[in-house]
Structure 1
Amino acid sequence: MSDWNAWLDDYFKRFSPAFETDVYVKLKEFRELAINIRANGKKMMFAGNGASASISSHGAVDFTKQAKVRSMDFNEPNLITAFSNDYGYENWMARALECYADEGDAVVLTSVSGTSPNVVKAAEYARDHGLKIVTFSGKSPDNPLRGIGDINFWIGSFAYNVVEAVHMLWLTTVVDMVVGQAEYSVD
């Protein structure tokens, strides 16, 4: 490519929706949910596939360690393979919620497409059982996951790395909002 500066300008413009003020409302709502979860001794459960699973793990650790909000993820290989084998891959997350969710808990589900059957079924289970649902998705604005959540983060991009980076940005922003500052000791 002869003009990398133009390419980079175009690429980084894809991130601008992450900083729009309507996102601020959702960030504040998620912060309030996390504070209420912590105050009531409940927990947040995180799940996703592929890179979204990694984002989920990062979120669960940071909410637990930094924000003092008890959190867990469903990325244990034995859990995934046993539940997928016994209940089908499209059902394993919902079945994990059935085993781990308690009244008053929340679930944070991440899917770039918002169409992953196992993530959508987990959201449906959570909705049907009164759990609060936070979703992170991209691509189509009418993806099924986005239609199920209580607090829905969405970026209208089909670029996987952009969507995943923005999801991580939003998630870690809420951790810092719960902590109350951007720079702090991690001791």
Structure 2
Amino acid sequence: MNSSFYLKYFNNIKSIIDDFDLKKIGKFKKLIISTAKQNKKILIFGNGGSAATASHFAVDMTKNAGIRCLTLNEYDLITCFANDFGYEKWVEKSIEYYADKGDLVIFLSCSGNSMNIVNGCKYSIKKGLKVVTLTGIQKNNKVNKLKSNLNFWVNSKNYNIIEISHFIILLSLIDDIILSKKTK
């Protein structure tokens, strides 16, 4: 076993967590709560591992926190929309068909340059939806350049570390919301 690898790896994650902007996470929570209070929903999108994170978040937010949250990463929808509109447009088209005024849309993209996510984000902003993005790799990525309500950028070039960081932010929000409801 290469203990030095793991020590360095875990210290890297710890350093990233230590750099989380807690005030910004608090603003994210307020966006989620205000969305729920307006009887609106959350849509969350990602590719690959980020799609798995999106699914996990959507299920836990709905079941455990009691706030409606959907991810539209069903293969039949993706392949239909990708076939009919192009892969780079499937997220945008999903939002066009499923989002309502006042909804919150969350986008996960390690690179911030996946065109399906970029186009979905642009469309959501244009339609006046609330938008939160979580990215990594380069700070000046395409998603970060857009005018979202909030952006969380992870200072790493390692996809797994970026995805872990996004996962921690998202699931900590769920736990905070659950705890807030219990203490009322």
- TM-score w.r.t. length of structure 1: 0.91
Alignment root-mean-square deviation, CA: 1.4
Task: Provide the C-alpha distance between the structure 2 equivalents of 1:67 and 1:158, rounded to a whole number of angstroms.
Answer: 32
Please give the secondary structure, in 2, of the residue aligned with 1:108. strand
Q: CA deviation at 1:13?
A: 2.2
Give the letter aligned to residue 164 of structure 1. Answer: E
In the alignment, structure 1 segments of 5+ residues that lack a partner are none
Q: CA deviation at 1:158?
A: 0.8
Aligned residues of 2:89 and 2:119 also touching (Cα < 8 A) = yes
Q: CA deviation at 1:112?
A: 0.5
Partner of 1:168: 167
User: Would you say how many aligned residue pairs link Structure 1 and Structure 2?
Assistant: 179
Give the letter aligned to residue 167 of structure 1. Answer: H
Partner of 1:104: 102
Task: Please identify runs of 4+ aligned residues in structure 1 that moved more than 6 A.
Answer: none
Task: Provide the C-alpha distance between the structure 1 equivalents of 2:100 and 2:52, rounded to a whole number of angstroms.
Answer: 24
Aligned residues of 2:57 and 2:171 also touching (Cα < 8 A) = yes
Task: Provide the C-alpha distance between the structure 1 equivalents of 2:35 and 2:83, rounded to a whole number of angstroms.
Answer: 32
- TM-score w.r.t. length of structure 2: 0.93
Partner of 1:83: 81
Q: CA deviation at 1:50?
A: 0.4
Partner of 2:30: 32
Partner of 1:116: 114
Task: Provide the C-alpha distance between the structure 2 equivalents of 1:180 and 1:147, rounded to a whole number of angstroms.
Answer: 34
Please give the secondary structure, in 1, of the residue aligned with 2:70. strand
In the alignment, structure 2 segments of 5+ residues that lack a partner are none
Please give the secondary structure, in 1, of the residue aligned with 2:105. strand
Residue 92 of structure 2 is aligned to residue 94 of structure 1: yes
Give the letter aligned to residue 135 of structure 1. Answer: T
Q: CA deviation at 1:117?
A: 0.3
Residue by residue, what CA displacement relative to the aligned partner does 1:131-170 show, whole Å, maximum 9, x if unpaired? 1111111100111112222111111111111111111011
Task: Provide the C-alpha distance between the structure 1 equivalents of 2:84 and 2:53, rounded to a whole number of angstroms.
Answer: 26
Task: Provide the C-alpha distance between the structure 2 equivalents of 1:180 and 1:36, rounded to a whole number of angstroms.
Answer: 17
Aligned residues of 1:34 and 1:178 also touching (Cα < 8 A) = no
Please give the secondary structure, in 2, of the residue aligned with 1:146. coil
